[in-house]
Structure 1
Amino acid sequence: MTMPIRIGALAPLSPPGWVEAGRHLLAGLELAVADVNATGGIGGRPLELLVRDTAADPQKAVAVVDELAGLGISALVGEYHSVVARAAAARADALCLPFICSSAVLDALTEQPTDWVARIAPAQSRGWRLYADFLLDAGHRHVAVATVPSVYWASGTRILQDCITPRGGSVIELEMSSMTPAALCDHLADQGATCLLLLVGHPEPAVSLVKAIRSDPRLGNVLIGAPAGPPELPEWLALLGTDGAAIPFLRYLPEQLPPLGVRVEAALRQRLAQAPSFVAFEGYDTVAVLAAMMRSHGTEPGRLAQAWSEVSVEGTRGQIGFSRVPGISVWQWAWPPIQVVDRDPAAPDRFRVLSAG
């Protein structure tokens, strides 16, 4: 009997993790594994995905990385939440286990440069700078951010400040741990901010904040933004309806998908019974990259970790290769396509591309 090649997969599949994002990520990973196996696997050996739920818990992620390493995996893939991916990356680095991170964008994915970790998603500084430029180009100089304590949200706030403040604007932080949605609305009305960004958890408190702002007649001209992307997934529309439209967010898709992307989109749509998000494409691309590396360099972890600079793989959203980017501690695809998108108020199930970079 042919022994499978085991790959560990991390995803948030239970609360407080963003379960819908985890489900899309896993769909992409599983579809790519099925495609690899349908074409003979790697040297005649099938890929086997060992899936573990991280539940947005960094400590749980470390424990499952240890468990998966003990099961003899050749590599680790996946994860959506940045703080969880950072914990998993640190543990993979310590265990000398290759990890291709699918979706997490935090720049400092590891404290020190490492050859054991690579990333498919763009770095947060890349996407959020484009988002800040979009806000400034749209005339928003005074931006408020509703935030909660988190390394990820704090990093995003710093990026916005570094982009907006030198150009004569301001970024006001509103700490939601001690503030109700009604109090937030009062602050916005008093301070004259033209834009509020949701740097908070989904679905709560994000959904309650949107409902409060949309129902406050004083705030009819305030743009709501959600750079981290919760409006991308169908759950947002189900919870908010038309109130969830016209809220710009970052999405990592090209204007037009290449032929592979078109084929994968159709297969993902069937698997998910809904339109696939960019997170599902990130999952597919992760396994596509790993499979190509295994075909050319074998399945031994040490050999895989030496192969990042030689990667050139057709992905669902373009040609994927890794390089060393200043300020980024892991091997990075520089860069996936990035768009600023919102849901069309006239048809909230349709997206509008507002900016691209």
Structure 2
Amino acid sequence: MSTPPSTPGTQPADGPSVLIGALAPLTRPGWVEAGRHLLAGLRLAADEVNLAGGIAGRRLELVVRDTAADPQRATAAVDELAGLGVAALAGEYHSVVARAAAARADALGLPFLCSSAVLDELTEGPTERVARVAPAQSHGWRTYADFLLAAGHRRIAVAADPSVYWASGTRILRDHLAPRGAALVELDMRTLTPAAVCDALLAHGATALLLLVGHPEPAVPIVRAVRRDGRLAGLTIGAPAGQPEFPEWDALLGADGAGVPFLRYLPERLGPLGARVGDALRERLGEAPSFVAFEGYDTVTVLADVLRSHGCDDRARTAGAWPHVAVEGTRGEIRFSRVPGVGVRQWAWPPVQVADRDPADRDRFRVLHTA
């Protein structure tokens, strides 16, 4: 398949709908801001598909379910959506939640195109039913480790909450940094207050602190404490998971949240399609779209292409189409392949960059490093 996205404004779709189940964190304790951006991208692409004639004349309809960052809730949603007759699943932001959804979808024979979750081991073993638009965590976080090394950091602390996702990130960083002469110190946020984090950073001689914790708690209090501690002037605060990408980060932290490097999955300059979609997303969201919104748009664009080419009523045929995808996305051509250590069909790779909010203009993002 090498079908470019259709141009909006042609004959609208009609007839019985083709259903796609859409998973996103839309309520707490999920990262609601990320879920809102993801859903905006999913819906924009679906609207454009329908304006261009739908799927063989049938309307594409998203059936949205809120996961609220709860794996059990996501599993129940997959069961419900499968029973409703969805042709495929799309979306999800949180990696642990996506892993639960992927396992259930795989067991049910339901194709799942994951938008944003990055955990390498998204499934227990190789499967043909699950594919992913976002890069694997190991690829992105190694890029982040390279950025730290290039900036001269050799003693790096991580403030970490207990979770599979944060533990995986810590392992990736350590395995990449240690052979290159850098040490990683773990600070267990189950036992440390923000003030105690500052003391530990000083005791360990760390030059960088990475936030592998929830947002806004305890990430925001940790940043405030470090910024206000004169002993730690010049220490770099980093957030590889991408928290500073979203406006809530800036609203809560102001100037304290600037200059915090994070991972984002965008090119340095968008092409014509990406620029057009970016403008449309900005209008819908009322703010600059994050990379998560582009991931959502690309997900539905790929699924629409697969369903047009392989039909809407045979889930096995849909899942079998991943190796044949060649679709123009907002950030480059999307193809899926097998990557060592990753059990799902993977786009290898979307663009990866390390960026931060410019302290001189917090609405501007500076690109600091690219993969």
Q: Would you call these one fold, judging by a TM-score over 0.5?
A: yes
- Which residue number corresponds to residue 344 of structure 1? 358
Residue 202 of structure 1 deviates from its aligned partner by: 0.5
2:250 to 218, 224, 237: 237
- Which residue number corresponds to residue 8 of structure 2? none
The yes-or-no answer on 1:146 pairing with 2:156 is no
The yes-or-no answer on 1:107 pairing with 2:117 is no
The yes-or-no answer on 1:263 pairing with 2:263 is no
- Which residue number corresponds to residue 274 of structure 1? 287
- Which residue number corresponds to residue 330 of structure 1? 344
Secondary structure, counterpart of 1:52 in structure 2: strand
Q: Distance in 1 between matches of 2:254 and 2:315?
A: 47
CA RMSD of aligned residues (A): 0.6
Secondary structure, counterpart of 2:216 in structure 1: coil
Residue 61 of structure 1 deviates from its aligned partner by: 0.3
Secondary structure, counterpart of 1:253 in structure 2: coil
Q: Deviations over 1:72-101 (max 9, x none)?
A: 100000000000000000000000000000
The yes-or-no answer on 1:225 pairing with 2:238 is yes
- Which residue number corresponds to residue 252 of structure 1? 265
Q: Distance in 2 between matches of 1:258 and 1:325?
A: 26
- Which residue number corresponds to residue 209 of structure 1? 222
Residue 221 of structure 1 deviates from its aligned partner by: 1.5
Secondary structure, counterpart of 1:29 in structure 2: helix
- Which residue number corresponds to residue 184 of structure 2? 171
Q: Distance in 2 between matches of 1:161 and 1:259?
A: 39
2:61 to 27, 30, 48: 48
- Which residue number corresponds to residue 71 of structure 1? 84
Alignment of 1:304-315 (within 5 A): 304-315=318-329
Residue 191 of structure 1 deviates from its aligned partner by: 1.1
Q: Distance in 2 between matches of 1:205 and 1:322?
A: 36
- Which residue number corresponds to residue 9 of structure 2? none
Gaps of 5+ in 1: none
Q: Deviations over 1:22-57 (max 9, x none)?
A: 000000000000000000100000001000000000
Secondary structure, counterpart of 1:94 in structure 2: helix
Q: Distance in 1 between matches of 2:343 and 2:56?
A: 32
- The two structures have a TM-score, normalised by structure 2, of 0.96
Residue 178 of structure 1 deviates from its aligned partner by: 1.2
Q: Deviations over 1:164-196 (max 9, x none)?
A: 111111100000011100011111111100000
Q: Distance in 2 between matches of 1:59 and 1:284?
A: 26
Q: Deviations over 1:195-224 (max 9, x none)?
A: 000000011100010000000000111100
- The two structures have a TM-score, normalised by structure 1, of 0.99
Residue 120 of structure 1 deviates from its aligned partner by: 0.1
Gaps of 5+ in 2: 1-13
**Percent identity of the aligned residues?**
71
Give the ranges of 4+ consecutive aligned residues of structure 1 lying more than 6 Å apart after TM superposition. Answer: none
Q: Deviations over 1:250-276 (max 9, x none)?
A: 000001111111110010000000000
1:285 to 295, 298, 317: 298
Secondary structure, counterpart of 2:343 in structure 1: coil
The yes-or-no answer on 1:9 pairing with 2:22 is yes
Q: What is the total number of aligned residue pairs between the two structures?
A: 357
Residue 109 of structure 1 deviates from its aligned partner by: 0.1
- Which residue number corresponds to residue 198 of structure 1? 211
Secondary structure, counterpart of 2:366 in structure 1: strand
Q: Which amino acid aligns with 2:288?
A: A
Q: Distance in 1 between matches of 2:268 and 2:203?
A: 39
- Which residue number corresponds to residue 60 of structure 1? 73
